Amino acid sequence: MTRIFQYLSAILGRSTDEGVEDMVLLSKVTDDQITDNLKKRIQADLMFTYIVNPFKKLPYFTDKEIETYHGSAAYEHPPHIYALADKMFQNMIVDEENQCVIISGESGAGKTESAKLIMNYIAAVSSRGSGTTAGLVDEIKRIILGSNPLLESFGNAKTLRNNNSSRFGKYFEINFSKNGSPMGGKISNFLLEKSRVVGPSKGERNFHIFYQMTTAASATEKEQLGMMEPKYFHYLNTSGEYHADGINDVEEFNGMKAAMDVCQISVADKHAILGLVAAILHIGNIDFVEGEQPGTAVIRDVQTLEFPAYLLGVSVEMLQGSLLSRVMRTGGIGSKRASMYNVPLNVEQAQNTRDALSKALYSRVFDWVVQAVNRAMADLAKNMIRNNQILCLGVLDIFGFEIFDKNGFEQFCINYVNERLQQIFIELTLKSEQEEYQREGIKWTPIDYFNNKIVVELIESKKPPGVMAILDDVCFTMHAVTEGADQKFVQKLEGAVRGHKHYQGTQSQFVIHHYAGSVTYDCDGFTESNKDTLFKDLIQLMQTTSSQFIRNLFPEEVDDSDKKRPTTVSFKIKNQSQELVDTLMRSTPSYVRCIKPNETKRAKDWDSKRVEHQVRYLNLKENIKVRQVYMRCY
């Protein structure tokens, strides 16, 4: 054992009732020992171990801590997320290499808070610039930090597991000059949970912004937007949950508005955004019943059309027509004999059309908000004196692996992205470091680990076709058909991948044995969710609005020929995931593994079984053992 290892063992590995600070220095590395060490530390209010969500605020994040960890070696002080942030920042400046941090863990484990702490630290220690650039640098820092309340209002919600759960993924890249001055940045967002807009589950809430507006809007705003109590709106009352512990909707609404100012969103655009959010709530109150003609829907109360039509800037008649009928065509895609005709919708189809419009409006305004933040940073960066080399530090905050009682298409997509991120971790740590030991002739006992490449290929492979390829094929061949499409998908999936050791199928479900556990996916709605179709009638309706803001959200040219193969959600996610992986692989990665100690969301509660499960699937034992070899040899 080297002197360095002995020295670090003395500092960080001393055995106390509070556990060891660096688990590389555990004398015995097992899942039980890791779990026990984490328990000792969290019970002593020591949340960092070189992250377990303590479910309470701890006094570790003042200017004093920032000063303590800035420029210091990791072993000089107790473990802290500021130590990791400082290491990344210093390595970026000294080595002139891009850095990224991948924050992973279950929903409610503390990923978003960890990301915010890293961003706060980087903003605090980075250079202010000099001369005329100093003020611009400060403005960029304000946007980097100030955008959080805005993004959380539109992208976060209360779930059963987390009162402030991020329902989207984001990768925040901050650009720096060679001397460490921020010079702009960019947010990339992934997989907004659009289905929440039209139907949060029992005991959960919709996105925070809806409750902020119904609760905290001024009397004038409420009158202009038709705001009532949350229970008045169908999209909010179906879950029966209107409040979230630790979330003050009035304060958050004021913070969101202040964030709009920081991000330079104009007064006109603010009004347009809030008007659109209100319109979505009113659209949800449009109800349908069976008409005189069997199989056709009519609107229960035509007065419910008036306010959403007013807020959308369209006529009541046009909105009504778009919700009750659809333009269809005979002949297949690209057929020369295709002709168009109007088809009335039944009640279920009309409800689906209403909800599709609401989801499209919300997702597009969310994308607009993200781009507004990016534009604000880009506009400032244009005014700065750029040198030739721009360095980048990225923070990935993405939804954790999800296993619920009922898992649908969105859980499938989320878990696929997590599989891709786990693949990066394996490739850059467990696999590559052991290969390096082998190349250098270091004697060590090879450490076995589960390589999830086989699961990723099961999901995304083209040849032989994996789950996504089969799903896309069914969606393409049955693009105009809803009934029977999910069953067709199950049948084709069973025929193609039956016998794969990480797959099991039934008549209406399939199981994938993921790295984090086995998940049963209910196929009901899979094909419709993957199509994510917004019918041309609705796009054209939004393009005729008197609102310039809404027209800008629907810039696409409607192709009446239908020659193009529709782009599916799984196709988009696969491409987005690959772009994200490529970006991360061009940077030097750091990792934050967040551990959730319980499901009660109460401080000091500890569920050893739940923690050990996370320890196991996050490969903590294997990673610690690989690091031990490194420390003993270098």
- Active-site residue numbers? 107-108, 112, 162, 165-166, 400, 402
Please state whether 331 falls in left (phi above 0), alpha (psi between -120 and 50) or beta.
left
Within 10 angstroms of residue 340's Cβ, the number of other Cβ atoms is 13
Tell whether residue 461 is among the known ligand binding residues: no
Using alpha carbons only, give the angle 402, 406, 409 rounded to the nearest 5 degrees.
65
Q: Please give the Cα distance from 149 to 140 (Å, whole number).
A: 16
Question: Which value, to the nearest 10 degrees, does the dihedral of the CA atoms of residues 274, 276, 282, 283 take?
Answer: -160
Is residue 496 a contact partner of residue 473, using CB atoms and an 8 Å limit? no
- Residue 600 CB partners (closer than 8 Å, separation 6+): none
Question: The dihedral of CA 319, 325, 327, 333: what is its sign?
Answer: positive
Tokens of 46: 């020591």
Nearest to 158 by CA among 190, 196, 214: 196
Q: Is 112 annotated as a binding residue?
A: yes
Q: Is 313 annotated as a binding residue?
A: no
For 524-593, the DSSP string reads TTHHHHHH----HHHHHHHHT-S-HHHHHH--PPP-TT--SPPPPHHHHHHHHHHHHHHHHHTSEEEEEE
> Is 109 part of any known ligand binding site?
yes
Residue 294 in tokens: 């069997």
Whether 110 has a binding-site annotation, put simply, is yes
**What is the residue whose two structure tokens read 């470091």?**
433
What is the sign of the dihedral through the CA atoms of 510, 109, 611 and 428?
A: positive
For 544-555, letters b (16+ CB in 10 Å) and e give ebebebbeebbe
Q: Is residue 199 marked as binding?
A: no
Q: Can you tell me the distance from the alpha carbon of 545 to that of 335, in angstroms, rounded to the nearest whole number?
A: 31
User: Is 506 labelled as part of a ligand binding site?
Assistant: no
Whether the CB-CB separation of 552 and 62 falls below 8 Å is answered with no
Rounded distance between C-alpha atoms, residue 280 and residue 247, angstroms: 22
Cβ proximity of 571 and 83 under 8 Å: no
Tell me: is residue 435 an annotated ligand-binding position: no
ω into residue 446 within 30 of 0, thus cis? no
Known binding site for ATP: residues?
A: 105-112
Known binding site: residues?
A: 105-112
